[in-house]
Chains A and B, each alone.
Chain A
Amino acid sequence: MILIVDMNWKKDSLGYYEFVLPILAVAKTQDQCTVKHFLEVTSLEVSQCERVILSGTALQDTATLSQPEKFVWLKETEKPVLGICAGMETMGVVFGMRLIRCLEMGMTSISVVKQNPFCCEDFKAYSLHSYCVEPSANFEFFAKSTKCAQIIKHKTNPIYGVLFHPEVRNIELIKTFIQLKG
């Protein structure tokens, strides 16, 4: 079971169709999925699923960034987690990274910095973010754009962040994540 966390500012929002459904469409081809809004996710639910994907949000939506306390489960879990866009930014805040104003929109060139499970050569991805994070010492970073870190991973746990939107132009990345061993 994959838990997809709806990161939009409220449950059952207009952002659900744009930021959650496209991820669900890819993920459900690989495994059973369940969707929960971030305010409803508990450590128990996380422990009952195999892996977790945190969705992105609208550019103006910063609700999760100001509520890192709702994501304490992120620090406790050993399950694979993929944070997409706002999902990665929130992950950054939870793990004490610095959030920096950084705007990227549209197709963006991504270059590989370090060998990783997702990409072995440079590629283009769809970006829609107004913040980025500065990877902290407990994270390594796998890929970057000209402006900022684009793919990061926690050094010991299988916790990944991607700043671009793989559900838009790089769906293989989501499938690769789902096939990763826990």
Chain B
Amino acid sequence: MRLGVLFSGGKDSTLALHYAAEKEEVACLITLLSENKESFMFHTPNIDVSTLQAKALALPQITKKTKGEKEKELADLEDAIDEAAKKFKIEGVVTGAVESVYQAERVQRICNRLGLWCFNPLWKHDQKTLLEELLEKKFNVIISGVFAYPLDEKWLGKQIDTKMVERLVDLQQKYGLSPAGEGGEIETTVLDAPLFKRKIEALDYGVEFRGNSGVFIIKQAQLVSK
């Protein structure tokens, strides 16, 4: 089955891609570039890096800009998926949804309208296990956004490792944060993964932090051999 993966370049969509590629044929990535920092569904600080990630994966990518207003964003997503269906003859869509019934339902509705299959291979998976799986599979993932107390600027740009997973699980117990950031507490950027043919090296970056949230912005990056 030819599939298109909704791809933000964060850990969940990259892991969903990994599962999809093991079972079926991934024909393209579908990425919404949100211009709204408070986007309901697709907010990722380093979303432009996704173009570089697509190159690293050697996969074609459909990108679509969206203003990120709630319902318009969904219409833009539907357009992008429709374009992928026409251009790459995909029969189904894969998402990295883990817990959000809001996200899952919206994408299911779009796929149903377009007559496409919809797969959510990380659906309901234990968040700690998901993080451990990333480490096991040797994903290089950095924290590129923090949006909840007590996460602060010290987390930004740090690579997820065993110690960090322990700290995140600890914060879940103390503050109720979801360890994999499924409640939007954390955004991540994948710099390397098993399917990457080359890896991403950040050449220039900046950190913005205000109040209880901040982002790690990769300003310039390049692909290097692994």
A residues adjacent to B (C-beta < 8 A)? 12-15, 17-18, 21-22, 25, 58-61, 103, 105-107, 126, 128, 130, 167-169
Secondary structure class of chain B's binding surface, majority of residues = mixed
What 17 additional pairs, Cβ within 8 angstroms, besides A17-B122, A107-B101?
Answer: A14-B19, A14-B24, A14-B94, A17-B121, A18-B119, A21-B124, A22-B123, A25-B124, A25-B126, A59-B112, A60-B115, A103-B112, A106-B105, A107-B105, A168-B123, A168-B124, A169-B101
Closest residue of B by beta carbon distance from A168: B124
A28–B19 CA distance with the chains assembled, in angstroms: 23
**Residue-wise interface mask of B (114-147) relative to A, using a CB-CB cutoff of 8 A (1 in contact, 0 not):** 0111111111111000000000000000000000
A168–B111 CA distance with the chains assembled, in angstroms: 20
Q: Determine whether the beta carbon of B112 is less than 8 Å from that of A126.
A: no
Closest residue of B by beta carbon distance from A26: B124
B residues adjacent to A (C-beta < 8 A)? 1, 3, 19-20, 23-24, 92, 94, 101, 105, 108-109, 111-112, 115-126
A87–B23 CA distance with the chains assembled, in angstroms: 23
| Min distance, Cβ B116 to any Cβ of chain A, angstroms | 7
| Min distance, Cβ B26 to any Cβ of chain A, angstroms | 11
Q: Determine whether the beta carbon of B105 is less than 8 Å from that of A17.
A: no
Q: Determine whether the beta carbon of B23 is less than 8 Å from that of A13.
A: yes
Q: With A12-B23, A169-B101 in contact, do A18 and B108 touch (Cβ < 8 Å)?
A: no
Q: With A25-B126, A168-B101 in contact, do A14 and B121 touch (Cβ < 8 Å)?
A: yes
A103–B108 CA distance with the chains assembled, in angstroms: 11
Q: With A59-B111, A103-B112 in contact, do A18 and B101 touch (Cβ < 8 Å)?
A: no
Contacts of B101 in A (CB 8 A): 106-107, 126, 168-169
Q: Determine whether the beta carbon of A21 is less than 8 Å from that of B125.
A: yes
Q: Tell which of B101, B115, B124, B125 has the most Cβ of chain A within 10 Å.
A: B124
| Min distance, Cβ B42 to any Cβ of chain A, angstroms | 19
Closest residue of B by beta carbon distance from A171: B124
A25–B130 CA distance with the chains assembled, in angstroms: 14
- Between A and B, 19 residue pairs with Cβ closer than 8 Å are A14-B23, A14-B24, A14-B94, A14-B121, A17-B19, A17-B122, A18-B119, A18-B121, A22-B125, A58-B119, A59-B108, A60-B115, A60-B118, A61-B117, A105-B112, A106-B101, A167-B124, A168-B123, A168-B124
Question: Which of B23, B109, B117, B122 meets A58, CB within 8 Å?
Answer: B117
Contacts of B126 in A (CB 8 A): 25
A75–B111 CA distance with the chains assembled, in angstroms: 35
Contacts of A103 in B (CB 8 A): 112
Question: Which of A14, A60, A167 meets B20, CB within 8 Å?
Answer: A14
Contacts of B92 in A (CB 8 A): 58, 60
Q: Determine whether the beta carbon of B105 is less than 8 Å from that of A59.
A: no
Question: Which of B3, B105, B108, B119 meets A15, CB within 8 Å?
Answer: B119
A122–B112 CA distance with the chains assembled, in angstroms: 28
A126–B111 CA distance with the chains assembled, in angstroms: 17
A148–B116 CA distance with the chains assembled, in angstroms: 24
Q: Determine whether the beta carbon of A59 is less than 8 Å from that of B23.
A: no
A21–B119 CA distance with the chains assembled, in angstroms: 13
The 5 closest A-B pairs by CB, nearest first: A106-B105, A22-B124, A17-B121, A14-B23, A18-B123
A58–B3 CA distance with the chains assembled, in angstroms: 14
A106–B100 CA distance with the chains assembled, in angstroms: 10
A37–B121 CA distance with the chains assembled, in angstroms: 17
Contacts of A107 in B (CB 8 A): 101, 105
Contacts of B122 in A (CB 8 A): 17
A169–B124 CA distance with the chains assembled, in angstroms: 10
| Min distance, Cβ B39 to any Cβ of chain A, angstroms | 20
Q: With A12-B23, A14-B24, A168-B101 in contact, do A59 and B123 touch (Cβ < 8 Å)?
A: no
Q: Determine whether the beta carbon of B123 is less than 8 Å from that of A17.
A: yes
Q: Determine whether the beta carbon of B119 is less than 8 Å from that of A14.
A: yes
